[in-house]
Amino acid sequence: MEILHYSEDHNHFRKRLRAFLDQEIKPYVEKWEKDKIVPKDAWKKMGREGFLCTGISKNYGGIDGDFLYSVIVIEELSKISESGLAASLHSDIIVPYIDSYASDDLKQKYLPGCVSGDIITALAMTEPDAGSDLASMKTTATADEDEIIIDGSKTFISNGINSDLVIVAARDPMVENVHNAISLYLVEADTPGFEKGRQLDKMGLWSQDTSELFFNKCRIPRNNRIGEKGSGFIMLMEKLQQERLVCAVMGIVAAEIIMEITVEFCRSAKEAGKPVTRSQAVQFTIVEMETEVRLGRTFLNKVIADHMEKKQVIIETSMAKYWATDLARKTAEKCLDLYGQFGTLEKCPAVKGFRDVRVMSIFAGTNEIMKGIIAKFMGL
């Protein structure tokens, strides 16, 4: 029995997306990897075809789709090895803050552009000296009549260079309790006092722009705050469940794809005139990995189904995030062993996957943090 039920609309969406990616995105993946960035025009093409922010209401230009549309986008982008066009980050992690918490005026102003791809978003939370520890946040937001003055710096910000609109987490310096001091603000890229720093040179995800951001007496309208004053910590915690679920989907899909291309290689590669898959050691290694990947997919699909039913799945989401991303890393490493010397070359199809999956166990909360959350909810 299938856990997830894809409708004809879902299947048509996938077919249309796959054709679009084959024509408009796949031919440029290698170039974008070398350029270390995805051109904004690619985002606009995705948006015009309805492949961004699929969960947004039709009132703002979206298709009002369920989370399965998001899963389809992650899967199909992963199949063409395009990791720089961070559609899921934009559509399923960042934009939902605006959709869920912003005023109607802000929604009307920004959501249509987010859907169309004319506005690329980023979330600025991590800081140089604090990491993602909100309690140590130093970026401040000070009220000055009808404006908010933001001062501070952020780092490791995905979509940082391409971003047109940034959600900035900042604290009120007058409030001692940090959990009541943090608010979220919308800052447009051309705002005076806001400067994009250097693009960071990463081990993987080469075409995904990650940068530093600086705020020096950056003035924005007071109305650009998302939600109530001091509610930033709560909003961030509420949205982490879907963010971590997105990471889990990325992890399982990455493991599946690396397995697929590796098995295909092993079937065609010869050793002593026989296919590599005739080796029992290779067979057992592949079977063990495939078993873990399928188990992971089954568990993930159950968590997705529960999430779509709005069930409380904090434990399961944390489990899925750490298990799936660890699995992606382990699978990529074991698969590389099966390529022999070919696995040391850039042209080996598994090498890019090996680089790209490494960060998955770090972002959206490290896997050690996931285990700590699970232990807490288990009462350990």
Angle at which helix 314-338 crosses helix 232-268, to 10 degrees, equals 30
Could you give the CA distance from residue 221 to residue 225 in angstroms, rounded to a whole number? Answer: 8
Of 199, 230, 261, at which residue does a domain stop? Answer: 230
Q: Do 364 and 240 lie in a common domain?
A: yes
Helix (H, G, I), strand (E, B) or coil at 189: coil
Sign (positive/negative) of CA torsion 222, 224, 228, 230? negative
In a domain, 162, yes or no: yes
The answer to whether residues 248 and 201 belong to one domain is no
CATH assignment at residue 180 = 2.40.110.10
Contacts of 26 (CB under 8 A, 6+ apart): 80, 82
Q: Domain with 364 in it: what CATH number?
A: 1.20.140.10
Same domain, 210 and 243: no
- pLDDT score for 272: 75
pLDDT of residue 275: 82
Same domain, 194 and 271: no
Asked, for residue 3, whether it belongs to a domain, the answer is no
Domain final residue, candidates 102, 119, 136? 119
Residue 319 belongs to some domain of the structure: yes
Told to judge if 127 belongs to the known catalytic residues of this protein, a careful annotator would answer: no
What's 151's DSSP letter? E
- Is residue 205 one of the residues assigned to a domain? yes
**What's 110-128 look like in SS3?**
HHHHHHHCCCCEEEECCEC
pLDDT at 19: 97
Kindly state whether residues 109 and 143 are assigned to the same domain.
no
pLDDT in tens, the chain (380 residues): 689 999 999 999 999 999 999 999 999 999 999 999 999 999 999 999 999 999 999 999 999 999 999 999 999 999 998 888 999 999 999 999 999 999 999 999 999 999 999 999 999 998 987 766 677 889 999 999 899 999 999 999 999 999 999 999 999 998 888 889 999 999 999 999 999 998 999 898 889 999 999 999 999 999 999 999 999 989 988 898 899 999 999 999 999 999 999 999 999 888 777 888 888 999 999 999 999 999 999 999 999 999 999 998 999 999 999 999 999 999 999 999 999 888 888 888 889 989 999 999 988 888 998 999 999 999 98
Cβ pair 29, 79 in contact under 8 A: no
Report pLDDT for 333: 94
End of a domain among 230, 260, 277? 230
Q: Are residues 183 and 285 in the same domain?
A: no
Query: Are both 371 and 239 inside the same structural domain?
Result: yes
Please indicate, yes or no, whether residues 363 and 252 belong to a single structural domain of this protein: yes
Q: Which residue among the candidates 75, 243, 256, 316 is catalytic per the annotation?
A: 243
Phi/psi of residue 230, each to 5°?
A: 80, 5
Same domain, 240 and 212: no
Q: Which candidate, 69, 51, 72, places its Cα nearest to that of 117? A: 51
Residue 346: per-residue pLDDT: 87
Q: Which residues neighbour 373 within 8 Å (Cβ) at sequence distance 6 or greater?
A: 314, 315, 318, 365
CA distance 60 to 107: 8
Instruction: Give me the number of domains the chain comprises.
Output: 3
pLDDT confidence of residue 270: 80
| Residue 164, pLDDT score | 97
Question: What tokens does 19 get?
Answer: 């054709």
**335 and 268 fall within a common domain:** yes
Residue type, 282: V
- pTM of the model as a whole: 0.92
Print the domain residue range for 309: 234-377
Query: How many Cα atoms within 13 Å fall on the side-chain side of residue 162?
Result: 28
pLDDT of residue 191: 97
Which of these, 280, 277, 374, 362, lies nearest to 328 by C-alpha position? Answer: 362
